[in-house]
Structure formats: structure tokens, C-alpha cells
Structure 1
């Protein structure tokens, strides 16, 4: 049996106390990080295997001291489902801004975190409880729902270098006193697999969950299946893989808390309900249109004339990033200037900056250049799927002439409205652009952002997701590789901007986003 020193988060609730009992019973060293140490039973406090570190989630110094002592983390953290006052992002922000950095500093790579039934997989079978619980929590406890759906995003994007597993739980009855824990750990049998499979059950005791977690921590991923009921090898692989993307959230213990007195988490970054919105507003260039490839083609007159040792010639992405910086300066300084003019002037500024002489005949097309950029291969099929379920709107920094050309490239996909920077008189991320969107959607299409009817879909963090957070607009990040440092492009650096964004979903492409929308609407009508 490996030697473990375990940091337990959320250890003062009933499930957490059962976990502490299981760990000290097996002679592991335990560090409980607790805001209210007095909630830990006296018989545990007196156990030499347990150390309690008092601290708030905001106390980074105390947390760092706790993480320095351990080699694995088990988290049962989650907001009270009825809490309407705590900021929704408090726990995901704790994970990504405090816990994950502390783990990296001290070389702690392994973490288990709790999730619930709202995490869905294609292999799940339909059950009555799953959509019922999702609807109830989303409708009645919307503040908690919005906060805890962000936890999945924190793991998927911010814990890429850690070994993490999210386990789903449901009703976990049973006491946390020593006698109840001792009985339940022997009698309870956890189910491992997918919702609705043979052997699936909505309930097993807290003591059984604690035993299962410590079994998993002791034996590692290679032999977690020992002593557990697994229907097939596929379920085992899905349950215990090293999880990296929105498509591979785990199905480990497929349950949800039924008692509101327990602290539940709904951890669901990739599959929160997308069927409640009436309209989607899109950033166009970079999201629907392959802006960066178009920029590289358009900058070839400069690239061809650069010396071979130039970093810009070796890596054209650096060149388009500099070009984009120049366009942003003009957008901010001259907000009524048409985008085609901005492109032309930025091109000439870049050429002068690099001491490159480009003949006038090679620059005559620059104002219409954006209208030549083409859609990503997944864009048009994805938009056609999305059009079946929503009104579609474009909010773009483009001018009217180039936008008109772009709409032809996007055919046969259709949009209900297109709002351009030329119409608005300013460029995103300006507040005026989003006010224009909200006001015109109410009057033009009877879509109200404040009633939760609008979802913004965008690639650019700087132009779209930063203002979306500021203005309370729910959003989807179409990352197009931007979640990786090498894929940042012109959309903004996530590592630098993550404090300023609050998108609730991430998909690699419009196509992937549309697939999930279609799946959810299909399940809803089945």
C-alpha cells in the first residue's frame, strides 16, 4: 500500500468526515484544510494521523502550507445549493488561482474532485432523475448552478499539467459518526460505469464513498477496478482515464446529492443545458471565418521581402499578432474609421516598421482584403444545425462592404441580424457595441439578454469574452486551439486573461458546439 499524505478539502461536512475517518483508519497522514475546525469530531481531532490547518479559501499562505505537506488532494468542495449570495466563481477561482498553483509549486500532481449527475456522456442511458435534477437546480438555484458549472472549465483548461479525476455522486445517505461510518463502509457497494447501466443505483452511503475514494488513491489508476463492480472494460477506461478535454469527462460514481443539506457540486463545463436560449450572437472573424490564415495570405507582400533570419518570416503568427496590435490601436483611437481603412493603414504601418517597401499595386486590394477570408470547414454545417434551434446574429468589428462579402462565403447559412462596427460607430470591446447588441435584439427580435435568452459565441478573449464577463453576457469559447499557448494567435492569451473571462462552455470548433446542441435538443424531445 502506498504511503499517502492526503489534503482533504471540504472535510467538515458529513461526507468529508467519513473520508477523514477512512483515511486515519488506514493509517494515512491527513491534512484537513478547514475554515471551521470545530466541526471536526473530537475523536478525529485527537488522532495523531490528522493535522488540521485552519484557513479560508482566500488565504493563499495557509493553503500553501497545507499543500506543502501532502502528495495527493481529495476535494469535496462545493457551494451550498441554496446559497444565493456567494459569488458564483468563488470555488473555480480558488481551484485555478490558489490550489493549482500551490500544487505545482510543491510537486503535487494528483487530485480527485467531486461532481454530479449533470455531467453527461454519450454512453449514459436515459433516466428520469438526471434531466429532472438538472432542470430543478438550474431553475431554482441558478446562482449556484452558474458557479459550479465553471468548476469543470477550471479543471479542463487550468489543470492540464495535473492528473485529475472528477467523480460523480448522487444520493449519499448515512451518518458520519464512527458507528455509522464503520457499518456503511462494509455494507455499501459503489457502482462504477455509466448512468442507467446494469447495476446502476441512485444511492449508496457516505461511508462506502469514502472507502472507494481511498481505495482509488491507494491503488492508482492501474488497478482501481479491484473490488468494484464494473460492467465492461469500456466503462473502466472512461471512468479512470487521465481526463483532458470536454469530450472525456468521467463517469465514475454516477449519482447526485438528494439532500440539500449536503454541499453538492454540479461540475459540468462541457454539457450544461444549451436548450434554454433563444438566440446566439457570434463574433465572426476568428470564430466563423479563418481570420489568421487570411491575414497570413494578405501579409505575403511583406513576408516575401523580409530577410530570411527575421523571426517574423520564420513564424508568421508573430507577424499577424503585430499586425493585429496595430489594428487595435486604430480601432481605439479612430472608432469611426471603416475596418477596410484600418487594414490598409495597419499594413502600411507594419511595412514601414519593418523597413519593407511594397509596391502600390500590391496594396490596392487591402481595403477589401477581409471580405476574401474564408470560413473554417466546420462553420457552415455547424451554423445550419444551430439555425434549427436558435436565432443567429453576428456582432462584428467589420465594415458593411466586407461583411456583405463574408455573408456570401457563409451561404447557405443564414443570419437573422448582422450588426457591424460601421453601423455602431465603435469597435469591440467597447461597451457601445454590446449595448447596441442588447438594445437591438430586444427591439428587432424580442430577445432579452437579461432574461437569459442570449448566448454569445466567440473565439476572441479580448474583444468578446472580457466584455461578456463585464456586461453579464453568458458565453461559449470557441477556442480554435487557443487554449494552448502555441495556439494563442490574435484572440488573446488565456493565461494572461483568465481572471477577466467567465465563459461557461468551451468547444474546439463551431462544429463541436453544434454537435452538442443537437444532442441536447434530441434528448429533450426524445
Structure 2
């Protein structure tokens, strides 16, 4: 007998929110400097991979200050702070709002984001307030791929009678989400947002890709499958 998810948990930044375009747009508006997109994203990815001590997006401040000279950006704290606070206004991917509305007709939707609550609140509004619940870095006190984040989320969902075997985890990042969720035994859906572009962009790279249970390049494709009744759980 087919078994369907009770809840879909979502990574937000990179999966629903286009952080790459958001950062580039913010730099253009704030600084008026034309920057080669992939070069900046590659440098940003390298900085992220070193590890940061501040929560996201506060960690964008030291990253900005360390990359400013290389890309001809103003080397001031005021510009770095503005770059950080622009995160709450980053745009959604073109298909995110409608697809989330459609998915919300079938499943409970829960955000699992490494983003601080203040920034997530702006992103949630941009997405049309689709979530039944949300777990941020401020709640979990750790960041994915730490398994403790997933443990915190499971505990939260268990209050509503939703167990791990009822959850489909949806994400773009192989590093932060897909790899660890698969190892933990989740049914996972990889939204490969950069499939048409290639490379990892601003997302931390992995040496080996984890094979997901579902694999799409857009969120619309996931919503289409759900509307057709074809989105089923593969693990219990």
C-alpha cells in the first residue's frame, strides 16, 4: 500500500530563496560595483568552507570584509552591515511561492534553516508565509549538517505525532542537507537549482554526491508529482 508523507521539511536558503542572486543584487545596489558572479560565488564558497563562528547571516559581515578588497568593494563596517541585513529581502526562486502553496494543500510544511530568526522572518514573508512550523539556528542552537539539528526537528514534529518515517526532507545543498539526511535514514528530495548552470556556486562543495530518492531541478516538479499523488515515502 502506498504511504505518503505527513510533513515536508525544507531547507530555505538556496532551495526556496535564491541567495546567490540576492547577494549579487545587494552588492550592486549597495556598492554600485559590477562583479563577475561566478568569481564572487566561488570566493564566497571558499570562505564559507573555512567555517564561521557567527550564525548565518551575521557571518556574512566578516566574509564581506575579507573579500572587499579583492572585488573592489568599500572596505567599511557600514557596507558590511548593510550586506548582512539585505539577507532578509533576498528573492525567492521564480517557482517557490506557487509550488509551496500547492504542496501545502497536501502536507504539513516545516522550515529547517540555518538562518537566524530575524532574517528568516523576512524570507518567510517573501515566500507567502507557507510554513506550518519553522526551526531556525536560534531554536536548534546548531547548524546543519550537525545531526543535532535534525534531532531537534524530529522532537518538535513528534509533538504532532509526526515521526521520522513520516517526513520527506527537501533541500538543495548536498553538504548541509542531502548527505546527512540520507545517512540518518530520511527519504530525501534534492532540488538541484544549479543543474542548468553546473558547479556549486555559493554552496559548499562535496567530493561525492549523495543519490537522493527524488531529484528535480525545480520545486515545481515536486509540486507536480504531489498533485498527481505520486510523492510516496520510501523509508519507514
Normalised by the length of structure 1, the TM-score is: 0.41
Counterpart residue number, 2:201: 489
Name the residue aligned to 2:181: 468
Question: C-alpha separation between the residues in 2 aligned to 1:506 and 1:491?
Answer: 18
Asked if the contact 2:45/2:203 (under 8 Å) is kept, the reply is no
Number of equivalenced pairs = 230
Question: In the aligned structure 1, how far is the partner of 2:158 from the partner of 2:193?
Answer: 30
Q: Which residue of 2 aligns with 1:447?
A: 162
Equivalent residues in 2 for 1:347-362, closer than 5 Å: 347-352=64-69, 356-362=73-79
Q: Deviations over 1:362-402 (max 9, x none)?
A: 33412312111011121111111111111100000100100
Instruction: Provide the rounded CA distance (Å) in 1 between the counterparts of 2:194 and 2:73.
Output: 31
Instruction: Describe the shift of the 1:356–1:481 C-alpha distance in structure 2 as closer, same or farther (beyond 3 A).
Output: closer
Cα distance between partner residues in 2 of 1:468 and 1:502: 11
What does the per-residue CA deviation read over 1:431-478, in whole Å, with 9 as the maximum and x for residues that have no partner? 2111111121112x22100xx200000011111011112211110011
* Structure 1 residue aligned with 2:46: 325
Structure 2 residue aligned with 1:379 = 96
Corresponding residue number in structure 2 for 1:393: 110
Equivalent residue in structure 1 for 2:33, among 291, 297, 304: 304
Show CA shifts across 1:76-115 (max 9, x none).
Answer: xxxxxxxxxxxxxxxxxxxxxxxxxxxxxxxxxxxxxxxx
Matches within 5 A, 1:131-280: 135=1, 276-280=4-8
Q: How does 1:493-508 map to 2 (within 5 A)?
A: 493=205, 496-498=207-209, 501-508=210-217
SS at match of 2:58: helix
Distance in 2 between the 1:509 and 1:329 partners? 29
- RMSD between aligned alpha carbons? 2.5
Give CA-to-partner distance per residue, 1:291-313, whole Å, 9 cap, x none. 110121233367827xxxxxxx4
Partner Cα distance (2:197, 2:43) in 1: 17
Deviations 1:306-327 (A, max 9, x none): xxxxxxx4x4123123213323
Inter-CA distance 291–276: structure 2 relative to 1 (3 Å threshold)? same
Matched, 1:289 2:17: yes
Instruction: Give the corresponding residue for 1:404.
Output: 121
| TM-score when normalising by structure 2 | 0.87
Change in 2 beyond 3 A, CA 1:485/1:415: closer
| Pairwise CA distance, 1:407 | 1.0
- Are residues 490 and 366 of structure 1, via their aligned partners in 2, closer, same or farther at CA, if it must alter by over 3 Å? closer
Preserved contact between residue 302 and residue 351 of structure 1 (Cα < 8 Å): no
- Which of 134, 144, 151 is the equivalent residue of 1:418? 134
